[in-house]
Chains A and B, each alone.
Chain A
Amino acid sequence: MRGAPYSLRTRRALAALCGAAVALPLTACGGGDGGAEAGVVRSSWGDPPNPLEPANTNDVQGGKVLDMIFRGLKHYDPVTGEAENALAERIESADQRNYTITLKKGRRFANGEKVTAASFVDAWNYGARIDHKQRNAYFFEYIEGYDKVHPASGAPTAKTLSGLRVKDERTFTVRLTQKFSTWPKTLGYNAYAPLPRAFFEDHAAWLDKPIGNGPYQVRSYVRGSVMKLRAWDGYPGPDKARNKGVDLRVYTDSNTAYTDLQAGNLDLVDDVPAQQLKFVRSDLGDRYLNQPAGIIQTLTFPMYDRAWSGPARAKLRRGISMAIDRAQITQRIFHGTRTPATDWTSPVLRRRGGYRPGLCGDACRYDPVRARKLIKAAGGLPGGRMTITYNADTGSHKDWVDAVCNSVNTVLRNDRACVGRPVGTFADYRNKMAGEKMTGPFRAGWQMDYPLIQNFLQPLYYTGASSNDGHFSDTGFDRLVNQANAASADGPAIAGFQDAEKILAEQMPAIPLWYQNGSAGYSRRLSEVALNQFSVPVYARIRVS
């Protein structure tokens, strides 16, 4: 990698050359035929790893498309994150467990088919059933009958969820397995999108060219390279597309996408590569976005390992947290694209949604003296040293892991107390987590599914929860979460979750490191570009000149 800084410096020198030409429109500085179609946004894309089906897409790149071609019962306001009714006219419940959902009149799929209650019920039944191997099947786990269509082992004993009933064309009822007051707000997630008959009747054809009911429709899709979406003129919702369409182009390397943006061959990159962050302001000026996204990075402790677990070791875990100089690392390494975390949620929730900066208290404040004292009082690091495990294949985690270790080492005045432990591939890393093979804190990133405080706590720290990789278990925490879920109004529910969060602050099963921002850069052709809470550009609002 010795050549890398050299090439970067060269780029800078060369950028100056180009600077003279920047006075002209950006395209003049760029190469040949950009192939810009009037009114169409050319945007970078990553190849989705899974087939593009609503209940099968769990990555940002696939979610980007689904957000353009589908509208579910709810939709999250891209600015406030509030779950607003999209296709739902009303969602009612007297007991937070039985819900009656009524759809808006006259909504259709792009192929003319009516969106009915059955469009939702069929789609959810499809997503939940184990035979379809949908990656997001567990989103339906709160609906009654899920264990029959998706048993932990063996063949399913039912084909449909018993908790779903179609009443009439526009009404259906849902019965949940437990009280879940904020459940309606989760319905903006893509997995809950309705599906047209075409999806079930000719599945292969649908995958080649998905049909939905959102502001855009797919014109053509060459898998692995480009998807062309065009605004759907018949879209009746309030968030109609303000441009003529979006071309999503697959890039393997975000550096190339960035170069293409500079050359005028691309209008929008929503992942500015780390190497370019230093120069992005001078390259793009105010056409660079850097705003909070619903992602938090933590260092999670293996609570199954006796060296790290138990309330007695809480001092040690808190001490390590206090030994991390978050402010310096987010500035030096991330150039302000991360913000030091002081709770376990995300700023995108806003205070109304349960984000509470400072909830972590002193334990998330850099304090070398107290950190050293706490760790000493707890008997020092187990065996005198610790490792931070991370996957080395994506996301350049090495830099910050080394920086965190440096910070800990400086506090402990021992150069070899903390070292990073890379794992070759992400899959292997996940397998190590699942196999309880972590011997020290490990990197964990959480990207929210929906902007709710529940989503930042329950799946991660509830006993036996799906993403509780540290195997943290605390009866007090579980009880508070249950109470919050059963609360009949938003206010008490959120307060309940925050009380549960305070238990995390005491026990520190996972150290909050920083909130991650979404970043994007765009060309002069575009205006009114913004990112939503999921760090996805709000395509429908973009104007093209």
Chain B
Amino acid sequence: MGRYALRRLLQMIPVFLGSTFLIFFMVYALGDPVAALFGDKAPDPATAARIRRDLYLDEPLWRQYLHYMGQIFSGHFGTAFDGRPVTELMASAFPVTLRLTLVAVAFEVALGVTLGVLSGLRRGRGLDTSVLLLTLVVVSVPTFVSGTVLQYLFGVSWGWARPSVSPEAPLTELLLPGVVLGLVSLAYTTRLTRTSIVENARADYVRTAVAKGLPRHRIVIRHLLRNSLIPVVTFIGTDIGALMGGAIVTERIFNIHGVGYQLYQGILRQNSPTVVGFVTILVIVFLLANLLVDLLYAVLDPRIRYA
């Protein structure tokens, strides 16, 4: 188990190097960002040249990349154009997005698994059909529509929640955005759980458990659910990475100053240190989440062993 985890961690190094270079290359390909710093006016050539020199933008791509990587290994992620170090941006943005993601994941796990189990056990009945229909609707409505509609209903019409999130982003204010963010995943979680439950409900070990005369709740939770969760856990694991990086739309609608906001600003202003720094962290989060999922398999299903 330990060696397996170590091997997986070591595999992250080439992925890390490759992804940083790719992202660096892509932001670089967008062109020279300095011109945009001067607003609608033509930049003063001398000032622009000086800014380029200070940001190493007058060097060829490979030297810019080497310089950037050298900085990263000394713990310096570069600065945004307004002079703030990217590490400072990360320190303010990641906790917010992490909280938002946790709300979303908690919501989709709690509701998704419950609905999935209920509809799986009552296959073909009224509840199953309505949950199926409901998830279909949720999946087909894009986030920016569900986001603005819910924001308007809860924030303006009924006044139950603030339409925007304050800079401190406390958990209570993140409930609505978290639900919006988790909606689509909720639908997937529900369907995955349902399918898995339906499949396993006819498995031998369930029949054995029933024959042993175990109480129903014990059969469902200890035997059926635990074995049915593997696809769901896989999905949620990859989803954590996707939610953190993909919260751009939700964060924009609810004015949350998290990762999505910083990434959006970084891309708009073509600030490669911001974009590369944030995406790199996201890649690491994604890899770690996947590793965690693989390790969880062994916990859920004793038949799986890692050597």
Contacts and interface: CB of A to CB of B under 8 A. Distances in A.
Given A3-B145, A253-B255, A425-B270, A31 B44 contact: no
Tell me the dominant secondary structure on chain A's binding face: mixed
B199 to A, nearest CB: 35
Contacts of A133: 47, 50-51, 54
Contacts of A6: 145
Interface string A2-41: 0110110011001101100100000011111101000000
A36 B281 CA distance: 37
A265 B40 CA distance: 32
Given A35-B166, A426-B36, A427-B32, A49 B269 contact: yes
A209 to B, nearest CB: 14
B36 A151 contact: no
Interface string B33-45: 1111111111111
A31 B155 contact: yes
A425 B64 CA distance: 21
Contact of A467 (B41, B50, B162, B254): B41
Nearest to A154: B46
A49 B142 contact: no
B163 A47 contact: no
B164 A259 contact: yes
A18 B157 contact: yes
Contact of A430 (B36, B141, B155, B254): B36
Contact of B36 (A28, A252, A265, A427): A427
B148 A11 contact: yes
B173 to A, nearest CB: 9
Given A135-B38, A424-B30, A447-B40, A3 B159 contact: no
B126 to A, nearest CB: 28
Interface stretch (B16-24, B78-86, B218-226): B78-86
A48 B167 CA distance: 16
A14 B157 contact: yes
A260 interface: yes
B253 A31 contact: no
Contact of A135 (B37, B155, B264): B37
A35 B151 CA distance: 18
Contacts of B44: 135, 137-138, 466
A59 to B, nearest CB: 5
B160 interface: yes
B216 to A, nearest CB: 43
B255 A17 contact: no
Interface string A463-492: 000111100000000000000000000000
Interface in A158-210: 207
B82 A32 contact: no
B156 A259 contact: yes
A153 interface: yes
B252 interface: yes
A427 B253 contact: no
Given A33-B162, A59-B39, A263-B156, A49 B32 contact: no
Contacts of B61: none
A31 B42 contact: no
A330 to B, nearest CB: 20
Interface in B93-129: none
B203 interface: no
Contacts of B251: 252
B92 interface: yes
Interface in B136-173: 141-142, 144-145, 148-149, 151-157, 159-164, 166-167
Given A18-B156, A32-B161, A252 B264 contact: yes
Given A259-B152, A466-B41, A466-B44, A428 B30 contact: yes
Contacts of B252: 252-253, 256
Contacts of A49: 36-37, 81-82, 269
9 contacts: A18-B157, A31-B161, A51-B82, A130-B46, A153-B46, A252-B257, A257-B164, A394-B268, A428-B30
Given A130-B46, A153-B46, 16 more contacts: A14-B156, A18-B157, A31-B155, A31-B159, A32-B159, A250-B257, A251-B164, A252-B255, A253-B255, A260-B164, A260-B255, A424-B30, A425-B30, A426-B36, A434-B42, A434-B43
Interface of B: 30-47, 49-51, 54, 81-84, 89, 92, 141-142, 144-145, 148-149, 151-157, 159-164, 166-167, 251-255, 257, 261-262, 264-265, 268-270
* 9 closest cross-chain pairs (CB), A and B: A430-B35, A427-B36, A225-B167, A428-B31, A3-B145, A51-B83, A256-B255, A138-B44, A263-B156
